[in-house]
């Protein structure tokens, strides 16, 4: 039974790259390897790794499933050893969807996988994270071993022959099954070779036991048969030859066997003049009492070298003889096979044995292979020795050349080869060849693989090639020069190593060290130097080659010594001195020459810059004074550091600063700075002559210490400048409203009108001199002819004492600064240090700051508060804050009632200018009066302004502002709001009301009022409901057309709209109602309020004085008209009635229905968004709006939609 040797493995996972576009979205990429049965699947190997199958031999055939193959794709295949995450073999991207991967060893396990790409996306067959899809396959090279331990038994009832055998062995995959073949007693030789066409009588699976048995029931007493047990492994290998057939009879006594002439195994090759063949008497014992005779045949076998087909010819047949063996003579280099026949004297005759498709062959081979026709060993420099020889592959008439041994040895080992001692020369074998069809053989001997010695430069070696044949003969040294050659190793000469030079060399001389690593192989050196990195041009100089084993001097510009000369076991250092080099960058290199005239590569190139001259200098470009302390300055020098050049020398290393008291003096060094710096601050200048006694010079130094004092000097007198006079702070004044302070100063000397001033102030003297930008910032005052400057009072945070100082800056660019003024100490007036207490209750509090605290962080002012929020009037929403400012109102969330004392500068006024219509929040000014009645306010502008106070539950309008509280401010126009501490409260407004009554909605009381003098919009008599606190629920209220909500609403038209949660209960006292007809209009109908005292409302409802109900049906014109996107259609209904409002196009086709329902009495409107009944936008054009109500009313209006 044969198995296909093609490896097919399945493992598919599709990875689709996001956004990739495929020509056929329904067919994603895949990398499924096709699967076919290979032996037994499911063996567990090394823990969790499951074998997917087996493959016979070293080559695995991989092929993708057909659904994964498309034109234009590229494929890649991988082989990964078991236990590794890295493939040991992988193909490139190829257009082929199948491939053979060679190189699997016997018993080796590999994971095979594939990848597919279309150029954008790559898909792998074994993705990370899917171990169940890994495909592992074992390679199996060999057939199972011959079955051992066979024993047979006969049982009479029932008649059967039982066979036992030991578990079979296999080199890799293991035995899978045992086939049992049977032949009649006289045909045992037919089981010598198991032809694939032969059918076994049965088979037994290998289930891991050590012993197996099988019984043959197809027997009758005294039947005799030949049997053979043939193993098959899990890779499909079947052992077709080399098995041991055995015989057994269905009898308890030795049966009568027919004659048998099976021969014993003969060797594949034999020596001498012939070969004795023998009858296998173990298999052919004969029958007791019978006389057995034999005769034998010898066949000559010829094989066609082109077709490899064989033919055999009978060359000799013996007469019948009693001998069970016979000696046939054979001719050298000839191949034979033999056969035999047996007979019982006067009885039956057996067939000729071994006349089957495979027959045993033997070849007469008496001599070793012939000699190579040519053999050469050639030195190839650093690549070692190159060996080549040629020999005709058929140059062995016997068993044929099987391979070659290549040996290498030096002269001191030649004794091992004359004569050759195989036990000693084995260590000198450096290569082994397998015979090929071309007869040409090559080898590059580079030394490291040599098990005895490495190749030594200059050493001569012997190379011997020894062919051997299949019969075991080896041609050691029988051929002379044709199988031996010598070669001398010439690995060239290693290049020298140039020791790195310093970045610069001073004085025109360079000391160059060259390291010799050749261990005395180099004998001469060549040195080159040049200003050109490519070693060309007029500056190029070349010396040598010169001997490296003697000191050398050339022309007074080059000297070389070798102090380490004569020791060949270590490196030498050649010390060279090169002089008379001009200033530039120089490049140096060297190379060696050996005694074989080999020239090394050039050494590494080393570089140094020769420096013979000092660097160029520069002038000081600017001198500037900087305020340092009282009446003292620092002096800042500036120069052009880019002017510091050193030509082609080593470059500028540093810059030194010198100071003297007069022009022309060299002065004293006061500092050294980097060449990259272009400024320096002298912190201890001479104050003499108004700082003019400071003359400076900058001097550059190069890396060789060369310096240049030739640069210009710099001083105030040289540039015509001097620091301005020091100012003096005279006083600090606080304004009447305690909202600002003014610093007043004067000059202590003459200062031009262009003089600017810088002020610094802090809460302590230490902070003042610290100069920190956060606690003591410098304030640039600019040019101030009045010598006074006003600042907001908030700048005096931080305590009752403050300290000021300042300096002047002249009009130069950059400006010269004077020294600091004397420190001015300022004591805050007692009025600037006030304390007030803010009382907060649990929940949301609307507060403001009555004083300006030192720290306005919200969490510091109100520790324990949970949240701080401020109203944003532009966005109409709350924002969370963490800093609080005077004059503004803030929401503070508390979990319990707490009183917070607050100390700081009192807020004497609150002012907001140019604020417009809508809701605003404001703070209150400080109140230090005994009555603590708060402050009034004024409004200058259009409309009116109404503050509202929050008491923790609801809002109330107010005419006075209490310190520490915040307020809502409702404006009906644009203007200015002002409140000052102690300001009288505003005159209260006494509205004119015709009649009023109250309603209750879920505990919220609302006032209904009517006045012919009131406005339809916000009236001064209205009580408007400000926005709720943060995250608060909207309370029931009256609502107007602009969305304002009211606690009390005074209207002239007798109609109030109520907005309340769905399902709210509205109640009132009928006895408290005015003597007018009042109705409540809800979604469920109209209620006479005089006849009832409550009603459930659903969303919005209306209270209508009957005199205000419409007198008739009416359809108003849409607003706006023309319109874009949406418009509103007003209509009136005098009584509860069914109303229909529809829209038609100009052709009379129905577009949509806006209203089709019972409508309560009153004024209404409906919105059309320019879509039809299906929600689709309609085009621009004229549309007709039609209203019908009751039995007779109908009206139509034209509407123009423009897009």
Whether omega before 692 lies within 30 degrees of 0, making that bond cis, reads no
CB atoms within 10 A of CB 650: 25
- Residues linked to residue 184 through DSSP beta bridges, in sequence order: 225
How confident is the model at residue 21, as a pLDDT? 32
Cα 352 from Cα 186, distance rounded (Å): 11
Closest CA to 434 of 485, 399, 469: 469
How confident is the model at residue 124, as a pLDDT? 87
Per-residue tokens: 976: 């200015």
Regions of the chain short of the pLDDT cut 70? 1-26, 35-48, 126-134, 252-256, 354-359, 415-419, 421-424, 447-454, 565-566, 646, 648-650, 712, 717-720, 774, 797-798, 986-990, 1012-1013, 1016, 1107-1109
Cα 779 from Cα 1170, distance rounded (Å): 62
Per-residue tokens: 569: 């076991």
Per CATH, domain 269-364 is 3.40.640.10 = no
Cα 369 from Cα 403, distance rounded (Å): 10
> Under CATH, what is the fold of the domain 1114-1201?
Immunoglobulin-like (2.60.40)
Residue located via tokens 């040294």: 477
* CA atoms in the 13 A half-sphere facing the CB of 942: 8
Cα 1167 from Cα 1131, distance rounded (Å): 11
Could you please report the per-residue DSSP string of 173-199? S-EEEEEEEEEEGGGGGGGSS--TT--
The backbone torsions φ and ψ at residue 66, rounded to the nearest 5 degrees and listed phi first, read -60, -35
Q: Would you call 928 exposed, middle or buried from its count of C-beta atoms within 10 A (0-12, 13-18, 19+)?
A: middle
Per CATH, domain 374-488 is 2.60.40.10 = yes
Angle CA 32–34–35, to nearest 5: 125
Residue located via tokens 């500036």: 638
DSSP code of residue 720: T
> Under CATH, what is the fold of the domain 620-719?
Immunoglobulin-like (2.60.40)
Q: Would you call 517 exposed, middle or buried from its count of C-beta atoms within 10 A (0-12, 13-18, 19+)?
A: middle
Helix H, strand E, coil C: the string for 1044-1104 is CEEEEEEECCCEEEEECCCCEEEEECHHHCCCCCEEEEECCEEEECCCCCEEEECCEEEEE
How confident is the model at residue 417, as a pLDDT? 67
Which architecture does CATH list for 727-830? Sandwich (2.60)
The backbone torsions φ and ψ at residue 643, rounded to the nearest 5 degrees and listed phi first, read -80, -10
Cα 922 from Cα 934, distance rounded (Å): 14
How confident is the model at residue 453, as a pLDDT? 53
Closest CA to 956 of 1035, 1058, 1042, 1047: 1047
> Under CATH, what is the fold of the domain 151-249?
Immunoglobulin-like (2.60.40)
CATH 2.60.40.10 boundaries in the chain: 151-249, 269-364, 374-488, 620-719, 727-830
**From the CA atom positions of the chain, what is the Rg in Å?**
59
Pairing label, strands 325-329, 274-278: antiparallel
How confident is the model at residue 84, as a pLDDT? 84
Per CATH, domain 497-603 is 2.40.50 = no
């Amino acid at each position: 039974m044969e198995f296909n040797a093609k490896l097919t493995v399945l493992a598919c996972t599709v990875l689709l790259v996001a956004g990739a576009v495929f020509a056929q979205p329904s067919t994603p990429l895949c990398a499924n390897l096709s699967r076919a049965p290979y032996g037994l699947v499911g063996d567990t190997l090394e823990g969790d790794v499951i074998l997917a199958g087996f493959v016979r031999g070293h080559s695995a055939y991989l092929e993708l499933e057909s659904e994964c193959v498309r034109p234009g794709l590229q494929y890649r295949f991988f082989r990964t050893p078991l236990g590794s995450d890295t493939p040991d073999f992988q193909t490139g991207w190829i257009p082929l969807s199948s491939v053979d991967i060679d190189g699997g060893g016997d018993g080796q396990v590999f994971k095979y996988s594939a990848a597919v790409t279309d150029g954008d996306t790559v898909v792998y067959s074994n993705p990370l994270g899917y171990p169940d899809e890994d495909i592992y396959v074992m390679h199996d090279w060999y057939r199972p071993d011959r079955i051992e331990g066979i024993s047979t038994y006969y049982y009479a009832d029932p008649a059967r022959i039982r066979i036992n055998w030991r578990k079979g062995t296999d080199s890799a995959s293991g035995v899978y099954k045992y086939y049992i073949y049977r032949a009649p007693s006289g045909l045992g030789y037919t089981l010598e070779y198991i032809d694939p066409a032969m059918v076994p009588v049965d088979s037994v699976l290998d289930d891991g036991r050590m012993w197996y048995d099988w019984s043959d029931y197809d027997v009758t007493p005294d039947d005799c048969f030949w049997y053979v047990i043939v193993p098959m492994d899990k890779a499909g290998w079947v052992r077709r030859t080399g098995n041991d057939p055995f015989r057994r009879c269905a009898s308890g006594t030795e049966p009568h066997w027919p004659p048998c002439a099976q021969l014993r195994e003969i060797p594949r090759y034999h020596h001498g003049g012939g070969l004795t063949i023998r009858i296998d008497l173990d298999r052919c014992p004969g029958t007791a009492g019978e006389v057995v005779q034999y005769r034998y045949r010898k066949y000559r076998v010829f094989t066609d070298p082109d077709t490899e087909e064989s033919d055999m010819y009978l060359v000799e047949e013996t007469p019948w003889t009693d001998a069970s063996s016979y000696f046939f003579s054979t001719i050298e280099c000839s191949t034979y096979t033999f056969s035999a026949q047996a007979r019982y004297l006067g009885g039956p005759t057996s067939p000729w044995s071994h006349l089957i498709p495979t027959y045993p062959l033997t070849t007469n081979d008496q001599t070793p292979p012939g000699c190579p026709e040519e053999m050469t060993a050639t030195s190839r420099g650093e690549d070692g020795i190159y060996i080549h020889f040629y020999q005709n592959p058929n140059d062995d008439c016997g068993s044929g050349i099987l391979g070659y041994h290549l040996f290498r040895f030096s002269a001191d080992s030649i004794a091992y080869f004359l004569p050759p001692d195989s036990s000693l020369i084995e260590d000198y074998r450096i290569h082994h060849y397998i015979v090929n069809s071309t007869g040409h053989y090559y080898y590059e001997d580079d030394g490291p693989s040599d098990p005895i010695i490495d190749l030594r430069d200059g050493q001569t070696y012997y190379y011997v090639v020894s062919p051997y044949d299949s019969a075991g003969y080896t041609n050691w040294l029988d051929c002379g020069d044709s199988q031996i050659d010598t070669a001398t190793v010439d690995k060239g000469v290693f290049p020298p190593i140039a020791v790195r030079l310093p970045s610069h060399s001073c004085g025109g001389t360079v000391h160059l060290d060259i390291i010799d690593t050749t261990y005395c192989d180099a004998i001469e050196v060549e040195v080159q130097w040049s200003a050109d990195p490519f070693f060309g041009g007029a500056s190029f100089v070349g010396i040598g080659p010169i001997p490296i084993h003697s000191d050398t001097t050339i022309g007074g510009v080059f000297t070389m010594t070798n102090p380490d000369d004569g020791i060949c076991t270590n490196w030498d250092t050649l010390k060279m001195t090169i002089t008379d080099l001009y200033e530039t960058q120089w490049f140096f290199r060297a190379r060696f020459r050996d005694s074989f005239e080999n020239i090394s590569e050039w050494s590494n190139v080393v570089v140094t810059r020769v420096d013979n001259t000092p660097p160029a200098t520069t002038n000081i470009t600017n001198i500037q004074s900087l305020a340092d302390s009282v009446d003292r300055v620092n002096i800042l020098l500036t120069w052009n550091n880019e002017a510091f050049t050193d030509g082609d020398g080593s470059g500028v290393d540093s810059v030194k600063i010198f100071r003297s008291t007069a022009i022309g003096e060299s002065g004293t060094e006061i500092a050294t700075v980097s060449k990259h710096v272009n400024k320096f601050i002298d912190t201890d200048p001479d104050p003499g002559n108004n700082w003019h006694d400071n003359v400076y010079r900058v001097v550059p130094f190069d890396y060789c210490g060369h310096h240049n004092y030739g640069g210009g000097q710099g001083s105030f007198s040289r540039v015509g400048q001097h620091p301005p006079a020091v100012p003096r702070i005279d006083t600090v004044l606080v304004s009447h409203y305690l909202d600002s302070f003014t610093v007043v100063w004067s000059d202590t000397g003459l200062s031009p009108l262009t003089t600017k001033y810088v002020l610094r102030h802090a809460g302590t003297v230490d902070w003042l001199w610290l100069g920190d930008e956060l606690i003591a910032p410098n304030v640039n005052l600019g040019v101030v002819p009045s010598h006074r400057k006003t600042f907001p009072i908030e700048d005096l945070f931080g305590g009752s004492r403050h300290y000021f100082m300042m300096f002047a800056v002249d009009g130069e660019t950059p400006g010269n600064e004077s020294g600091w003024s004397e420190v001015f100490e300022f004591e805050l007036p007692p009025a600037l240090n006030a304390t007030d207490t803010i009382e907060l209750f649990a929940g949301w509090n609307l507060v403001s700051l009555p004083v300006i605290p030192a720290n306005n962080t919200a969490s510091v002012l109100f520790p324990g508060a949970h949240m701080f929020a401020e109203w944003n009037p532009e966005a109409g929403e709350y924002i969370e804050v963490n800093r609080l400012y005077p004059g503004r109102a803030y929401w503070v969330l508390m979990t319990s009632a707490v009183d917070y004392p607050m100390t700081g500068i009192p807020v004497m006024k609150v002012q907001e200018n140019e604020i417009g219509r809508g809701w605003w929040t404001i703070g209150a000014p400080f109140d230090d009066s005994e009555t603590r009645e708060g402050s009034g306010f004024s409004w200058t502008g259009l409309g009116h302004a109404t503050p509202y106070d929050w008491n923790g539950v609801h809002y109330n309008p107010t005419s006075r502002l209490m310190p520490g509280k915040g307020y809502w401010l409702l404006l009906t126009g644009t203007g200015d709001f002002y409140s000052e501490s102690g300001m009288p409260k505003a005159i209260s407004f006494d509205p004119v009301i015709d009649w009023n009554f109250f309603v209750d909605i879920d505990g919220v009381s609302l006032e209904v009022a009517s006045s012919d003098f009131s406005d339809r919009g916000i009236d001064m008599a209205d009580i408007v409901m400000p926005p709720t606190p943060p995250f608060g629920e909207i309370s029931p209220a009256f609502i107007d057309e602009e969305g304002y909500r009211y606690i009390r609403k005074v209207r002239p038209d007798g109609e109030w709209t109520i907005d309340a949660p769905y399902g709210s209960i509205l109640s009132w006292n009928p006895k408290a109602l005015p003597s007018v007809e009042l109705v409540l209009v809800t979604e469920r109908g109209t209620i006479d309020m005089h006849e009832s005292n409550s009603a459930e409302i659903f969303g919005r409802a209306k209270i209508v004085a009957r005199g205000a109900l419409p007198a008739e049906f009416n359809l108003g014109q849409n607003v706006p008209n023309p319109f874009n996107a949406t418009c509103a259609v007003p209509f009136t209904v005098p009584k509860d009635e069914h109303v229909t409002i529809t829209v038609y196009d100009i052709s009379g086709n129905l577009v949509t229905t806006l209203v089709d329902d019972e409508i309560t009495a009153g004024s209404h409107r409906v919105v059309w968004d320019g879509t039809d009944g299906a929600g689709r936008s309609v085009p621009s054009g004229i549309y007709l709006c039609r209203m019908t109500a009751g039995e007779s009313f109908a009206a139509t209006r034209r509407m123009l939609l423009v897009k």
